Amino acid sequence: MTLVKHLGASIVVASLLSGCMMTYANEPVPATLTSVSASQKANIASTISQWFGDVEVTLADDAFTRSSELSIERKAHMDNRGLPVEGRHNNPAYTFTLLKHGERCILRNNQTGDEKEVAGLSCTASYE
């Protein structure tokens, strides 16, 4: 009878653990791009631009290839010498995270929590 209790307890623990793992597997995970073409970069920039009311956004050629996170700052107003007007600027940085959810690549706006699938991307889980 004791063996049956231990066996039953083991099955319950195993099923609880597998349930937790299945839940985790269904959650989006940080990701990086496997490659980035001009059209993929344009799709990412367009998605971010929409969050800012269609303000033009410039991305580096290697955006999301080394890290799942990206920071964007507004360009400071410069004088004719290239120096920030009125000293340092205090424009906030905005951050975004690339996520993989199943086969989909999703971009998350970290300030608002909004998420949007970006068409044409190929990403892989990065577990940074």
List, for residues 36-65, the tens digit of each pLDDT value. Answer: 899 999 999 999 999 989 989 989 999 999
Q: What is the SS3 assignment for 42?
A: helix
CB 96 within 8 A of CB 49: no
- Looking at residue 90, its pLDDT comes to 65
pLDDT value at 84 more than 80: no
Please report the pLDDT score of residue 68 as a whole number: 96
| Residues in contact with 45: Cβ distance below 8 Å, sequence separation at least 6, in sequence order | 57, 58, 59
Contact 48, 72 (CB under 8 A): yes
Provide, rounded to the nearest whole percent, the portion of the chain with pLDDT above 90: 52
Cα distances from 31 to residues 3, 46, 57, 85, 86, in angstroms, run: 45, 19, 21, 37, 39
**What integer best gives the mean pLDDT of the chain?**
81
Residue 51: which of 104, 103, 118, 121 has the closest Cα?
Answer: 118
pLDDT for the residue 22: 45
- pLDDT exceeds 70 at position 9: no
Contacts of residue 26, defined as CB under 8 A and 6 or more positions apart, other chains included, come to none
Q: What is the mean pLDDT of residues 96-113?
A: 96
- Model confidence at 79, pLDDT cuts 50, 70, 90, reads confident
Confidence category of residue 15, pLDDT binned at 50, 70, 90: very low
Per-residue b/e over 6-29, b at no fewer than 16 CB within 10 Å?
Answer: eeeeeeeeeeeeeeeeeeeeeebb
